[in-house]
């Protein structure tokens, strides 16, 4: 059943579209080009970041996966209100289907990223570095699941959540080193005389850690100075915290799902 819902979710994304699934590749490339030209060339964000194109595209690819998961999951119960009211199914299957659909799109985009990194000669010399792909994706996946399951339930009762979420997802991208280096953020914190713990909060954000890991996997121009110390340990701790959040998010979902049909 989950597979059928994932297929349905993917078909619904590009229904009546001439290009269909090609938009899975076209849209992120257009977004990448926009940021690359405006930020990298006009605003000179690329200065000091070798192979900026791959640096930028790798961060955008992972963040797009996160945003697609969360936004899609948050609206999944409402989008499937007909099934929720007429057929008894485990309600969790709807946000999980949205996560699955986002995952398929993400894998396609990863293929484009891998090809681009190869063409630009930006892949790490030590291909074992590409294994950072797996903990990075696992980290983003677990937090996407936690937020998605929680917001899917809350959004049934508070419809403003979906619109607020879209705004927050757009803003959250700038809170991670996707279009700039984390050293730039550290310098900004220092210039505002912020306490050191603010930088630690920034560095230990799950999205930031996931982006660091993705950079290590695809952006071979990075050095140890481009990453915080003990990155693997930071990712592991954040992942374990994420598992706890998934547990509590599911508890909230179970408590709220009893009145879904009435609210819809």
233, 130 Cβ separation under 8 angstroms: no
User: Hey, how many other C-beta atoms are within 10 angstroms of the C-beta on 137?
Assistant: 20
What kind and span of H or E run contains 249? helix 231-256
Quickly tell me which residue has 């603010």 as its tokens: 198
What kind and span of H or E run contains 131? none
Residue 154 neighbours by CB under 8 Å, 6+ apart = 161, 252, 256
Residue 178: closest CA among 37, 44, 54, 48: 54
What kind and span of H or E run contains 137? helix 133-157
Q: Tens of pLDDT along the chain (264 residues)?
A: 666 766 666 666 666 555 556 766 777 778 777 777 776 666 666 677 888 888 998 999 999 999 999 999 999 888 888 787 777 778 888 899 889 989 988 998 898 889 888 988 889 988 899 999 999 999 999 999 999 999 999 999 998 888 899 889 988 989 999 988 898 889 999 998 989 999 999 999 999 999 999 999 999 888 888 899 999 999 999 999 999 999 999 999 999 988 887 776
């Amino acid at each position: 059943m989950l597979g059928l819902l994932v297929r349905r979710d993917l078909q619904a994304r590009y229904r009546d579209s001439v290009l269909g699934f090609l938009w899975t590749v076209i849209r992120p490339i257009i977004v990448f080009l926009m940021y690359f030209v405006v930020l990298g060339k006009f605003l000179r964000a690329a200065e000091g970041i070798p192979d900026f194109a791959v640096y930028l595209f790798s961060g955008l690819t992972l963040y797009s996966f996160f945003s697609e998961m969360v936004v899609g999951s948050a609206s999944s119960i409402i989008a499937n209100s007909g099934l929720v009211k007429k057929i008894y199914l485990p309600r969790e299957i709807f946000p999980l289907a949205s996560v699955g659909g986002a995952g398929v799109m993400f894998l396609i985009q990863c293929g484009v990223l891998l090809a681009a990194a190869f063409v630009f000669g930006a892949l790490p010399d030590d291909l074992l570095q590409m294994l950072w792909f797996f903990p990075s994706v696992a980290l983003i996946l677990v937090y996407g699941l936690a937020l998605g399951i929680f917001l899917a339930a809350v959004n049934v009762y508070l419809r403003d959540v979906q619109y607020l979420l879209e705004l927050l997802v757009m803003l959250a991208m700038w809170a991670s080193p996707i279009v700039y280096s984390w050293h730039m953020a550290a310098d900004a914190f220092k210039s505002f005389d912020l306490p050191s713990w603010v930088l630690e909060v920034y560095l230990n954000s799950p999205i930031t850690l996931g982006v660091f890991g993705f950079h290590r996997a695809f952006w071979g121009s990075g050095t140890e100075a481009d990453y915080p110390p003990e990155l693997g340990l930071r990712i592991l701790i954040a992942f374990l915290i994420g598992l706890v959040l998934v547990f509590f998010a599911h508890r909230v979902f179970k408590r709220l799902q009893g009145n879904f049909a009435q609210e819809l």
